[in-house]
Amino acid sequence: MSQTIESKKEYTSKELSTDQEVRWCPGCGDYSILKQVQTIVPEFGIPRENLVFISGIGCSSRFPYYMETYGMHSIHGRATTFATGLKSSRPELSVWIVSGDGDSMSIGGNHFIHLLRRNLDVNLLLFNNQIYGLTKGQYSPTSETGKVTKSTPMGSIDHPFNPSALALGADATFVARSMDRDPKHMQELLRRSYHHKGASFLEIYQNCNVFNDGAFFIYTDKETKKAEALFVENNKPLVFGANDEKGILLDGFKPVVVNLTEGKYTADDLWIHDERDRVKAGILSRFFDDPKMENHFPRPFGVFYVSDRSCYEDELNKQISKAIELKGKGNLNALIRGKEVWEIAG
């Protein structure tokens, strides 16, 4: 942060931009994400000194340099741990974590799942480009099987992580996905992420035009977007296709793609998305087929799941308050000795 922050709630997106040169490759999807964050954050009325952006290591992790707020460029995979400490000690702050698929899904994987299960009131943005960009194009934990890179010249034999499914498995209370090439959709999900009380996880498909160009073009290009991307909205049926001619229904717990133009099914027969339904969110997160496969499911975007649960920092500070009230009334020796005491016969 190179300039002095003035305490005020009303400011423009321009005032969130620093004087630092943005050092991303021309055409990188990170530019779009930065722009959308700078556009929507002023709406929240948070003084800039109460905003903190924490990142790990990677291309995405340069983000704090470009936000005229407080921030930290931390260490590989540990942005979540720094954020946990900060939010626990300063719960009034709005804490945002910026991370990449390599940063959060590999060395930071353990910290990632524990942040979500603890449910701190923070916002985690995962820039997923399915590659290691900063270190020049090695395959990452989200790269598809068979991916040919400098570190996998014969093709990756690893099975990739599905970040949304992993987040649901960690009992995240907010799981969503957007893309760099749909600014309006991303802005809406950034708003939803911020307003959620608890740990919000937003995966953003982000194009690396140098080392993995076009990885998500089938979901973002006008020619294929409507047929390959499924935009889910709460209480609305799952429909997609160039003219919304296709839909998805559930046969028990098995999803089935149907054609609505044949007259056999209508929108009333389709799966109605319910953000509060954890079981169906799990099914939705598994729409992860290779788009080259025949009869594959479209890739979903939107809010998959939302639930309410107490936040870690709130429960922690309740305990601290209670401990302060009990000051002088406890017995440290009895606490340390506990009830499990044995006498060893000579």
Q: Does residue 28 lie within any of the structural domains?
A: yes
Which residues make beta-bridge pairs with 201? Answer: 124, 175
Q: Which pLDDT tens digit goes with each residue over 295-337?
A: 899 999 999 999 999 999 999 999 999 988 888 777 778 778 7
Q: Does residue 183 lie within any of the structural domains?
A: yes
- Pairing state of beta strands 229-231 and 200-205? unpaired
Q: Which pLDDT tens digit goes with each residue over 241-256?
A: 999 999 999 999 999 9
CATH number at residue 98: 3.40.50.970
Sign of CA dihedral 64, 204, 166, 151: negative
Q: Does residue 131 lie within any of the structural domains?
A: yes
What are the C-alpha distances in Å from 92 to residues 16, 65, 89, 98?
20, 22, 9, 19
Single-letter amino acid, residue 214: G
Residue 81 and residue 233: Cα distance in Å, rounded?
A: 32
Reported as type and span, the H/E element at residue 30 is helix 30-40
Q: Does residue 96 lie within any of the structural domains?
A: yes
Rounded to two decimals, the pTM is 0.93
270: its two tokens:
């389709």
Q: Does residue 55 lie within any of the structural domains?
A: yes
Q: Which pLDDT tens digit goes with each residue over 195-245?
A: 999 999 999 999 999 999 999 999 999 999 999 999 999 999 999 999 999
Q: Does residue 340 lie within any of the structural domains?
A: no
Residue 265 and residue 246: Cα distance in Å, rounded?
A: 10
Decide if 36 contacts 183 (C-beta within 8 A): yes
Single-letter amino acid, residue 270: L
- Pairing state of beta strands 123-128 and 94-100? parallel
Q: Which domain holds residue 194?
A: 14-215
Q: Does residue 328 lie within any of the structural domains?
A: no
* Percent of the residues in the chain that have a pLDDT greater than 70, as a whole number: 97
Q: Is the pLDDT of residue 293 over 90?
A: no
Total structural domains in the chain? 1
23: its two tokens:
């050092």
Q: Does residue 91 lie within any of the structural domains?
A: yes
